[in-house]
């Protein structure tokens, strides 16, 4: 048993150093072959399976005599346990089960992408199993038990091995942190993790990016908020965890000159994580030096009109145009008074009741 304990300790420390969270509620239950068969018989589980995880009770069951015991524990306890405890998808699943909802529907029906941004497959059962086998493989590798997983592979159904490859490829494309974020896990990061993602995201086009600012609260459950100035056309990108406001270089210069609050807020509340510090500082200085001309006032009036028109044509609740109109209107009001609020938090201070 001490041997198992040390394996669990090692797995937990690897998980923590990679992701900054660990299993908290999930527990391991081990069975002798005889009791395993009894247990499976009573619960109508397949006795030939390597193990099973029960989300309702946060329990991971494995049979002790398996030659792949360590691998099985990584799969059931860590793969499924972490997913159920910490990912948005897993939490949704337990909520449904606790409220006697249709968890089969949630797991096996095709995902409605308007309701669920997280995951990388079309069905939650594949998100659930794919993550577990991916983490099982990772923990086997990082604890020096690669050969156990390699031997077990001969007994794993091909569909699952394909799922593993799919997850490994996603890790390559998104970075490990990106994959975890895409699966709806809490996001603990430093600047380097974000720079890595930005580089993956832009690929060889990264040289078209002038600079990247990291914004927002940076809470583990919140979107990662980026402001990018580049050679590309101006647009918004949002995938459920990554929110990029990308502005074309020429637009950036125009909008800065006009003291557009969406630009000045990013410039004065964001943190430079990629790009030329001098260029960034020069542009901040330009904004500070910019006088509040008639042009500036006119621009902001027409921006508000444009947003109001947009609001009536688009009934998209996700994108709250109202909030933008409110910020632009208050900013305009201050500009007319001769003030430059620059950031949303300054605006908030000014309009605090």
Nearer residue to Zn ion within complex by CB, 69 or 347: 69
Residue with smallest beta-carbon separation from Zn ion? 132
Span 73-132, contacts to Zn ion by CB under 5 A: 129, 132
The partner residues of 27 in beta bridges, in order of sequence, read 59
Distance CA 71, CA 75 (A): 6
With contacts defined by CB under 5 A, how many residues of the chain interact with Zn ion? 2
**Least Cβ distance, residue 49 to Zn ion (angstroms):** 9
267 binds Zn ion (CB under 5 A): no
Judged on CB neighbours under 10 Å (0-12, 13-18, 19+), 267 is buried
By beta-carbon proximity to Zn ion, the closer residue of 60 and 244 is: 60
Structure tokens that stand for 233 in this block:
């056309």
CB 46 → Zn ion: shortest distance, Å? 12
The nearer residue to Zn ion, 129 or 265, going by C-beta atoms, is: 129
Smallest separation (angstroms) from Zn ion to the CB of 190: 32
Give the per-residue contact string, 127-156, with Zn ion (x = CB under 5 A; - = no).
Answer: --x--x------------------------
User: What would the x/- binding string for Zn ion be over residues 15 to 54, using CB under 5 A?
Assistant: ----------------------------------------
Q: Smallest distance from the beta carbon of 75 to Zn ion, in angstroms?
A: 6
Of 129 and 246, the one with the shorter C-beta distance to Zn ion is 129
| Residue (30 or 269) nearer to Zn ion, CB | 30
Closer residue to Zn ion (CB): 129 or 223 = 129
**Minimum distance of Zn ion from residue 135's CB (angstroms):** 10
List Cα–Cα distances, 46 to 99, 129, 133, 266, 324, in angstroms: 26, 16, 18, 55, 55
The three state secondary structure string of the chain is CHHHHHHHHHHHHHHHHHHCCCCCCCEEEEECHHHHHHHHHHHCCCCCCCEEEECCCCEEEEECCCCCHHHHHHHHHHHHHHHHHHCHHHHHHHHHHHCCCCHHHHHHCECCCCCCCCCCCCEHHHHHHHHHHHHHHHHHHHCCCHHHHHHHHCCCCHHHHHHHHHHHHHHHHHCHHHHHHHCCCCCCCCHHHHHHHHHHHHHHHHHHEEEEEEECCCCCCCCEEEEEEECCCCEEEECCCEEEEEEEHHHHHHHHHCCCHHHHHHHHHCEEEEECHHHHHHHHHHHHHCCCCHHHHHHHHHHHHHHHHHHHHCCCCCCCHHHHHHHHHHHHHHHHCCCCCCCHHHHHHHCCC
- Considering the complex, state which of residue 129 and residue 210 has its C-beta at the smaller distance from Zn ion: 129
CB 133 → Zn ion: shortest distance, Å?
7
Q: Are strands 242-248 and 271-275 parallel, antiparallel or unpaired?
A: unpaired
CB of 59 to Zn ion, least distance (A): 14
Closest approach, Cβ 160 to Zn ion, in A, equals 8
Pick between residue 129 and residue 171 the one whose CB is nearest to Zn ion. Answer: 129
Q: Could you tell me the smallest distance in angstroms from the CB atom of residue 247 to Zn ion?
A: 44
Nearer to Zn ion, 111 or 132 (CB): 132
- Which residues in this chain contact Zn ion in the complex, by CB under 5 A? 129, 132
């Amino acid at each position: 048993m001490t041997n198992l304990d040390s394996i669990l300790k090692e797995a937990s420390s690897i998980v923590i150093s990679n992701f900054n969270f660990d299993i908290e509620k999930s527990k391991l239950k081990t069975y002798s072959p005889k009791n395993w068969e009894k247990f499976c018989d009573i619960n109508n589980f397949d006795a030939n399976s390597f193990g099973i995880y029960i989300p309702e009770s946060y329990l991971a069951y494995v049979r002790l005599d398996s030659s792949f015991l360590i691998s099985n524990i990584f799969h059931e306890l860590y793969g499924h346990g972490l997913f159920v405890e910490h990912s948005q998808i897993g939490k949704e699943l337990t909520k449904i089960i606790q409220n006697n909802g249709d968890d089969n529907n949630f797991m096996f029906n095709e995902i409605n992408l308007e309701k669920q941004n997280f995951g990388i497959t079309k069905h939650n059962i594949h998100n659930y199993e794919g993550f577990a086998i991916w983490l099982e493989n990772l923990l086997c590798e990082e604890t020096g038990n690669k050969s156990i997983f390699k031997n077990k592979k001969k007994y794993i159904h091909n569909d699952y091995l394909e799922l593993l490859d799919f997850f490994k490829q996603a890790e390559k494309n998104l970075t490990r942190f990106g994959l975890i974020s895409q699966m709806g896990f809490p996001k603990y990061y430093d600047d380097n993790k974000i720079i890595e993602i930005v580089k993956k995201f832009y690929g060889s086009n990264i040289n078209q990016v002038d600079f990247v600012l990291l914004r927002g609260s940076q809470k583990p459950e919140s979107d990662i908020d980026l402001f990018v100035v580049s050679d590309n056309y101006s647009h918004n990108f949002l995938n459920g965890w990554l929110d990029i406001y990308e502005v074309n270089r020429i637009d950036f210069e125009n909008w800065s000159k006009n003291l557009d609050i969406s630009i000045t807020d990013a410039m004065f509340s964001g943190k430079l994580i990629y790009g030329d510090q001098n260029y960034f500082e020069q542009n901040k200085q330009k904004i500070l030096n910019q006088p509040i001309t008639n042009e500036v006032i006119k621009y902001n009036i027409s921006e508000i009109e444009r947003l109001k028109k947009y609001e009536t044509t688009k009934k998209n609740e996700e994108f709250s145009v109202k909030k933008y109109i409110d910020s632009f209107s208050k900013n305009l009001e201050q500009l007319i008074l001769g003030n430059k609020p620059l950031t949303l938090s300054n605006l908030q201070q000014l309009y605090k009741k």
